[in-house]
């Protein structure tokens, strides 16, 4: 075995828990390539296991006693714990509960990452202007273990164990597991409910184990750590030591500690005002809601705006969806059937919730147009039906009928009835829904351009696809429904209702360009 | 008269106690710290117990220890995702490599265990004295260093030497045994 001295040192460091991040990365890279080194590591770890058992035996019996007898004592002590657990399992079985269901991955191979598995250990719950180094993540996305460097903004995420963390840029947090991580730089605030006791944040100088509380931590440029306990209790341990409950240094609400990389630790008093609290996000949401309101007002002067539904709850009749464009046609005022009022992109904003087959908003758009643009802000809660309507003209039997819908197989479709049997009426673009996209607000837009002879689909201000039109007809939306469809009278009523919420819809009788759609997205994004 | 369930229980306890050391070695080799070893062992033994009726010793190529390693491997992975607090956690590709190879190394753990018992008796008494305080439950290296009157760095170095001696001694003992066995 010809192993480099350097690599052997790294293995020693690994076993004693003294590696720096750079050294650890170096060891990992070496292990990836070198089978002999992997074997060395495994044998070293197994030796550790043996030595630990040996030490436990000596603890019970002074040196010189019969080792094998002592070994048995230890094995029995350990077995007791395991047998006790087993007895609990037996009690469950005798109680009549059958074998617990198989978890996915138990059958045969070890579970490794695959598209059906959630690699996350935390979820990004709220963010304000957050940008991350080498990562693109949106609220609602799950966060797998790894380095998370927040370059700007503020982010709030929840570990799956329940602990909630607010990170302020610039910060560098390494998420290790559902149970915590390592703060390499910057500031965080954590709120830890009962279920997440034991939540741990480590830094270069300390490991903090939470015992149900809220606390703040800051790692400065010189790697000093400040710990501020706002409420409850935490326990602090030396880096790399075994964290035995009750044996660390306890800090209570109001107390704090400065832990320099070298030198003595000193007490400080906890200062909550230096850390952001969750109300920051509520303020941020209100500010963005106001920004949207003032930008939405500007649409009024757009000469091609046919209808604007802002879905804001109105002091008027609850079953009416007012049109806020300058056009006065009565048909543009929507009738709400079924659908319940709910909250939209921001907590104070209104939305309609479409859930049952009867839920719909009826409108009538007069006059045909050569080109049209529709922009909708919506939140898809499920895609179980073949088609889900965003906006569909009644029936499917007259020129210019307009069917804008989502198919569960992953595409957006604009169908326009043109009467030519030999040419498809449908223009489609691929539309992928990731698991975390359900329940997330998004902007969808479609442009039917009679001059350019094309249909363009958009999602969140980005072009999904542009489809050429072999046949062009004037668009006549006419009698139509938002979130549902009324088929021709002779047909059976297929269920096509939208499953989710809609909180804004704009109809133009002109083709908007990508810049205009992008601007509408920027002004409206939650 | 013993019911079929009783026989099943006896089989399990017999097999489990015979191979417990191997499984523990396997689990320890895959975790960076002591933290978690006991918990993973407990979960592993529970899952094994629950699923023991699915273990079929008569199927060709199936033996208890491979089955146990498979379950332990999954439990370690689960622990890593749920509870780990150490930042020294290998990426999953490296973990997969290690887990596969750990099964081979841990399979001859009983022989290693015997060799180690022998090798420990050959350590110098001063070295032997260092093992107990350092490897005892829940002692940090700082405290252990204070206990034996050395600096932490000095203690690290001494331990590295002890480990290397022991490793070399185990390998020698094992290869001698193999030569005798094949003679």
CATH at A415: 2.60.120.200
pLDDT in tens, A158-180: 999 999 999 999 999 999 899 99
pLDDT band at A77 (very low <50, low <70, confident <90, very high): very low
Mean pLDDT of A490-495: 80
A71 SS3 class: helix
Give the pLDDT confidence of B113-124 residue by residue, as tens digits: 888 988 888 888
Higher-pLDDT residue of B112 and A404 is A404
Give the closest of A32, A51, A176 to B94, CB-based.
A32
Find the domain containing A306 and state its range.
282-524
By the CB < 8 Å criterion, does B37 face chain A?
yes
* Whole-number pLDDT of residue B138: 63
Point out the domain boundary residue: A210, A245, A274. Answer: A274
Q: What is the pLDDT of chain B when averaged over all its residues?
A: 82
Together in a domain, A359 and A242: no
A486 and A349 in a common domain: yes
Contact residues on chain B for A82, CB-CB shorter than 8 A: 41-42, 45
Predicted local confidence at residue A89, as pLDDT: 45
Selected residue with higher pLDDT from B171 and A354: A354
Indicate whether B74 pLDDT > 70.
yes
The enclosing domain of A241 has a CATH number of 2.60.120.1440
Asked whether residue B69 carries a pLDDT value surpassing 60, the answer given is yes
pLDDT band of A475, cuts 50, 70, 90: very high
Q: What percentage of chain B exceeds 90 in pLDDT?
A: 5
Q: Which residues of B touch A78 (CB under 8 A)?
A: 38, 41
- Residue A100 confidence (pLDDT) above 70: no
User: What pLDDT, on the 0 to 100 scale, is given for residue A79?
Assistant: 44
- Residue A115 is predicted with a pLDDT of 47
Nearest residue of chain B to residue A33 (CA atoms): B94
- Decide: A200 and A207 in contact? Cβ < 8 Å: yes
Q: Which A-chain residues 29-88 have CB contacts (< 8 A) with chain B? A: 31-32, 35, 38-39, 41-52, 54-56, 58-59, 63, 67-68, 75, 78-79, 81-82, 85-86
Chain B 73-92, residues with CB within 8 Å of chain A CB atoms: 73-74, 77, 80-92
Which residues on chain B are in Cβ contact (under 8 Å) with A178?
A: 81-83
| Closest Cβ–Cβ partner in A111, A112, A177 for B84 | A177
Nearest CA in chain B to A241: B140
- Enter the ipTM: 0.86
Nearest residue on chain B to A197, alpha-carbon basis = B83
In Å, what is the CA distance from A37 to each residue of A9, A33, A44?
A: 12, 9, 10
Residues A340, A268 within the same domain: no
Task: Report the alpha-carbon distance of residue B48 to residue B42 in Å, rounded.
Answer: 10
- Do A265 and A291 lie in one domain? The reply is no
Q: Are residues A169 and A248 in the same domain?
A: yes
Establish if A417 belongs to a structural domain.
yes
Say if the Cβ atoms of A241 and B91 lie within 8 Å: no
Same structural domain, A266 and A296: no
Chain B residues near residue A55 by CB distance under 8 angstroms: 131-136
| pLDDT, tens digit, 9 for 90 and up, residues A216-262 | 999 988 888 999 999 999 999 887 777 778 888 999 999 999 998 88
Q: Token match 């730089």: residue?
A: A185
- What is the total count of domains within chain A? 3
CB A221 within 8 A of CB A203: no
Tell me whether residues A46 and B29 touch, CB distance under 8 A. Answer: yes
Please indicate if any CB of chain B lies within 8 Å of the CB of A28.
Answer: yes
A393 inside domain = yes
Tell me the shortest Cα–Cα distance from A212 to chain B, in angstroms: 17
B7 confidence band (pLDDT: 50, 70, 90): low
Would you say residue A225 lies in a domain?
Answer: yes
> Nearest CA to B134 among B151, B120, B165, B155?
B155
> CB–CB of A341/A328 below 8 Å?
no
Same domain, A237 and A303: no
Indicate whether A116 belongs to any domain. Answer: no
A107 is a domain residue:
no
Whether A351 and A206 share a structural domain: no
Provide the 10 A C-beta neighbour count for residue A28.
17
Q: CB of B38 within 8 Å of any CB in chain A?
A: yes
Do A242 and A310 belong to one domain?
A: no
- Domain annotation covers residue A390: yes
Contact A46 B51 (CB under 8 A): no
Q: Token pair for residue A361?
A: 């908003």
Q: Calculate what percentage of chain A has a pLDDT beyond 90.
A: 58
pLDDT tens digits, A349-381: 999 999 999 999 999 999 999 999 999 999 999
Give per-residue pLDDT as tens, B104-150. 888 878 888 888 988 888 888 888 888 888 887 666 677 778 777 88
Is residue A368 domain-resident?
A: yes
pLDDT band for A29, please (50, 70, 90 cuts): very high
Task: State the average pLDDT for chain A.
Answer: 85
Whether A107 shows a pLDDT value over 70: the answer reads no
Q: Do A138 and A186 have their domain in common?
A: yes
**Are A405 and A483 within 8 A, CB to CB?**
no
Distance from CA of A49 to the nearest CA of B (A): 6
Closest CA to B120 of A5, A72, A52, A61: A52
What was the pLDDT predicted at A362?
97
Q: Which domains does chain B have, with CATH numbers?
A: 1-107 (1.10.1740), 109-183 (1.10.10)
Q: Note whether A250 and A384 are same-domain residues.
A: no
**Are A178 and B83 inside 8 Å of each other by CB?**
yes
Shared domain check, A360 and A342: yes
Q: Give pLDDT, residue B137.
A: 67
Residue A127 domain-assigned? Answer: yes
Measured between CA atoms, the residue of chain B closest to residue A243 is B138
Which residue of B10, B81, B150, B158 is the best one to mutate when testing the A interface, meaning the one whose CB has the most A CBs within 10 A? B81
Q: Is the pLDDT of residue A385 over 70?
A: yes
Give the domain-ending residue among A18, A39, A60: A60
The answer to whether B11 contacts chain A (CB < 8 Å) is: no
* pLDDT tens readout for residues A115-147: 467 788 999 999 988 999 988 888 889 999 889
Chain B contact present for A239, CB below 8 A: no
Nearest to B32 among A14, A38, A242 (CB): A14
Spatial separation of the C-alpha atoms in residues A239 and A17, rounded to whole Å: 9
- Among B46, B139, B142, the residue with its CB nearest the CB of A86 is B46
Total beta-carbon pairs less than 8 A apart between chain A and chain B: 194
pLDDT at residue A393, as a whole number:
96
How far is the CA of A14 from the CAs of A18, B32, B42, B58, B140, in angstroms?
6, 7, 25, 41, 15
Residue A90 predicted with pLDDT over 70: no
Compare all CA atoms of chain B with the CA of A61 and give the residue at the minimum distance: B132
Q: Is A174 on the interface with B (CB under 8 A)?
A: yes
Task: From A274, A293, A324, give the residue that closes a domain.
Answer: A274
Interface of A with B in 265-324 (CB under 8 A): none
């Amino acid at each position: 075995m010809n192993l480099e001295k350097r690599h052997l040192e790294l293995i020693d460091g690994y076993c004693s828990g003294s590696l720096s991040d750079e050294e650890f990365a170096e060891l990992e890279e070496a292990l990836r390539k070198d089978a002999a080194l992997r074997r060395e590591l495994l044998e070293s770890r197994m030796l550790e296991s043996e030595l630990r058992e040996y030490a436990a035996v000596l603890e019970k019996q002074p040196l010189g006693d019969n080792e094998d007898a002592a070994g048995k004592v230890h094995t029995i002590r350990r077995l007791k714990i395991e047998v006790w657990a087993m007895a609990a399992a037996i009690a469950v079985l005798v109680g009549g509960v059958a074998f617990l269901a198989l978890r996915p991955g138990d059958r045969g191979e070890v579970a490794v990452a695959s598209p059906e598995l959630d690699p996350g250990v935390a979820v990004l719950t709220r963010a304000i202007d957050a940008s991350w180094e080498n990562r693109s993540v949106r609220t609602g996305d799950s966060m797998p273990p790894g380095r998370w460097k927040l370059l700007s903004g503020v982010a709030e995420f929840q570990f799956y164990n329940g602990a909630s963390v607010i990170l302020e840029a610039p910060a560098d947090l390494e998420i290790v597991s559902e149970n915590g991580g390592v703060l390499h730089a910057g500031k965080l605030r954590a709120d830890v409910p009962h279920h997440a006791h034991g939540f741990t944040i480590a830094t270069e100088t300390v490991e903090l184990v939470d015992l149900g509380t809220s606390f703040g931590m800051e790692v400065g440029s010189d790697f000093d750590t400040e710990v501020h306990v706002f409420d409850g209790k935490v326990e602090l341990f030396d880096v790399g030591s075994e964290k035995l409950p009750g044996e660390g240094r306890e800090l209570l609400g109001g107390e704090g500690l400065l832990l320099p990389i070298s030198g003595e630790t000193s007490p400080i008093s906890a200062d909550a005002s230096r850390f952001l609290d969750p109300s920051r996000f509520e303020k941020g949401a209100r500010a963005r809601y106001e920004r949207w309101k003032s930008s939405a007002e500007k649409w009024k002067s757009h000469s091609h705006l046919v209808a604007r539904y802002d879905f804001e709850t109105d002091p008027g009749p609850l079953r009416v969806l007012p049109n806020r464009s300058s056009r006065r046609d009565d048909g543009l005022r929507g009738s709400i059937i079924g659908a319940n009022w709910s909250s939209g992109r921001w907590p104070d904003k209104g939305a309609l919730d479409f859930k049952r087959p009867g839920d719909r908003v009826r409108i009538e758009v007069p006059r045909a147009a050569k080109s049209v643009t529709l922009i909708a802000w919506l939140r898809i809660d499920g895609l179980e039906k073949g088609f889900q309507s965003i906006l569909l003209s009644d029936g499917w039997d007259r020129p210019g009928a307009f069917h804008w819908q989502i198919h569960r197989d992953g595409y957006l479709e604009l169908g326009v009835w043109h009467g030519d049997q030999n040419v498809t009426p449908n223009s489609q673009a691929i539309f992928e829904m990731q698991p975390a996209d359900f329940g997330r607000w998004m902007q969808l837009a479609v442009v039917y351009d009679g001059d350019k002879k094309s249909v363009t689909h958009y999602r969140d201000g980005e072009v999904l696809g542009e489809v050429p039109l072999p046949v062009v007809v004037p668009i006549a939306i006419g009698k139509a429904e938002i979130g549902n469809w009324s088929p021709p009278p002779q047909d059976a009523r297929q269920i096509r209702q939208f499953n989710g919420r809609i909180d804004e819809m704009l109809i133009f009788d002109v083709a908007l360009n990508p810049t205009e759609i992008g601007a509408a997205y920027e002004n409206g994004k939650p | 008269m013993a019911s079929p369930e009783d026989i099943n229980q006896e089989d399990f306890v017999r097999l489990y106690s015979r191979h417990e050391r191997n499984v523990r070695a396997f689990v320890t080799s895959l975790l960076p710290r002591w933290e978690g070893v006991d918990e993973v062992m407990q979960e592993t033994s529970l899952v094994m117990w629950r699923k023991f009726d699915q273990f079929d010793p008569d199927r060709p190529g199936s033996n208890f220890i491979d089955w146990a390693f498979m379950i332990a491997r999954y439990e370690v992975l689960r622990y890593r995702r749920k509870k780990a607090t150490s930042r020294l956690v290998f990426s999953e590709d490296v973990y997969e490599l290690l887990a596969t190879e750990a099964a081979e190394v841990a399979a001859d753990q009983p022989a290693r265990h015997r060799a180690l018992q022998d090798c420990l008796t050959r350590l110098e008494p001063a070295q032997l004295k260092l093992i107990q305080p350092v490897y005892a439950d829940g002692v940090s290296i700082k405290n252990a260093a204070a206990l034996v009157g050395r600096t932490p760095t000095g203690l690290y170095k001494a331990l590295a030497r002890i480990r290397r001696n022991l490793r070399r001694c185990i390998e020698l003992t094992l290869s001698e045994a193999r030569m005798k066995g094949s003679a």
